[in-house]
Each structure stands twice: as structure tokens, then as C-alpha cells.
Amino acid sequence: MNDDNSLNKLLPEQGIKLFHELLASGVSIHEALLTVIGRWSAKEEIIDNIKFRYWVAGEAFNWELLARRLLLSSKEIDSDAVLDKLFVESFVLPGGDQSMITPFFSPQKYKSHLNFLYGVMLEEVIINVNELSAAKEILSQLSHETPLDTTYQNLYAHNYLDFIKLYQYENKLNFEEFSCLYDYQEFLYWSWKYRIRKSTPEKIAYDTQTGISYIWNLSSKK
């Protein structure tokens, strides 16, 4: 099992070098990626004026973004093809078998990986699934609210604008709209933690399973 001691951590330059050395030695791309990602220490980078932020709220690890960054460092790898294959593997989907990751990630990093799977990736899916359902109800004239407000009432017991205001108040923020994907991911993660605090165990389990089923149905069609 990987650990978090400083001797085991890799700076970005060291990580890139090790990734290419592993590939040159015949290690599979997936194993090379997980080996380097498990030891990677940088929380974010700026490359060619583009920000790569690998952690959300310091608690959720978006290692798939780091995988993309590593793949892009090689001109010989079709990064899109590798990522397409990676995304149909069960260990990058909520509810999937995570046993392939555990030998490479420390307990802390593994927990942060799960935080991203459930607190960011799955939370967005749960919102989208609920919004689709709410839109169908409106078309059937069963509801007169907007799909967005119906969704947020169902999940968080607030309409969308009130929930955004609550998020801004609790986090001392002030904005008209999310300026980038990273800011939206911070909001999703906070929303997940809020829902876990406020919902019943039965409601949490239902929403979680609904989101997981939706993801796996999409995955099976690829």
C-alpha cells in the first residue's frame, strides 16, 4: 500500500519523468498512471497558462484530471482513446469495484478519490437526473415550478437561487455565476455535504442509487 510520507511523494517533474520511464520499461499505461498518481504531491499546476486543479475543497481528489495531464505529456499516446477506455472501467465510476486502485493510493488519497466520485461526479448526475424528472412532470402539468427549482427543493429543500445564496453566505463568497468548472465543482461538493447532513438515510440511499444506476446504464451503452 502506498503511503503519505515525504520520501514517497513526487514533484510534478519527477512524476512526469517516472511516468515515461515506466512506459519505456513495458509497464501498462493504466499501471503507470496509477503508480505516479498515487505518489503525486502537487494540488494544482499552471501549464501554458492553463490551470489544472486536482483537488476540490482540499478533500476531493480529481485524479482523472491528473491522468489527462500525464497523458498529454506524451506525444506518442492517444490520450482521448486511453481516457475513453479508462472511463468505462468500473473503478472510475461510483458504485464500481475499487480494488484496482487501493494498491496504489494511500488510505487518505483513496478516501479523497471516493469524495470526488460521490461528492462531485455523482452529485452532478443526481442533480441532472432529478432535473430531467422534474421537466417531465412540468410537461405533464403535474408541477408549475421550474425544473431547476423543483430539483433543488427535492434534494436540498431550497429553490435554486436561495440555495446559491446559502452557499455564498456559508463560504463568504459573492458572484453572479460560476467563473469556471473548478468553482462549480466546489459548489457540487459543498452541496453533497449539505445533502448528507440534512437528508434522511433512506433519501440519501435512494438518490445515490438512482444516480449510480443512471451512470451505469450510460456506461453499458458505450
Chain segment 164-204, per-residue pLDDT in tens:
999 999 999 999 889 999 999 999 999 999 999 999 999 99
Is 60 exceeded by the pLDDT of residue 15? Answer: yes
Q: How confident is the model at residue 1 (pLDDT cuts 50, 70, 90)?
A: very low
Can you give the pTM of this predicted structure?
A: 0.88
Query: How many angstroms separate the CA atoms of 97 and 91, rounded?
Result: 5
Those residues whose C-beta lies under 8 Å from the C-beta of residue 57, and which sit 6 or more positions away, are 186, 189, 190
Chain segment 54-70, per-residue pLDDT in tens:
999 999 999 989 999 99
The three-state secondary structure class of 10 is strand
Is 60 exceeded by the pLDDT of residue 100? Answer: yes
Sequence ranges of the domains in the chain: 6-92, 107-220
- Strands 44-47 and 55-56, by their bridges, are unpaired
The three-state secondary structure class of 51 is strand
Q: Select the more confidently predicted residue: 122 or 217.
A: 122
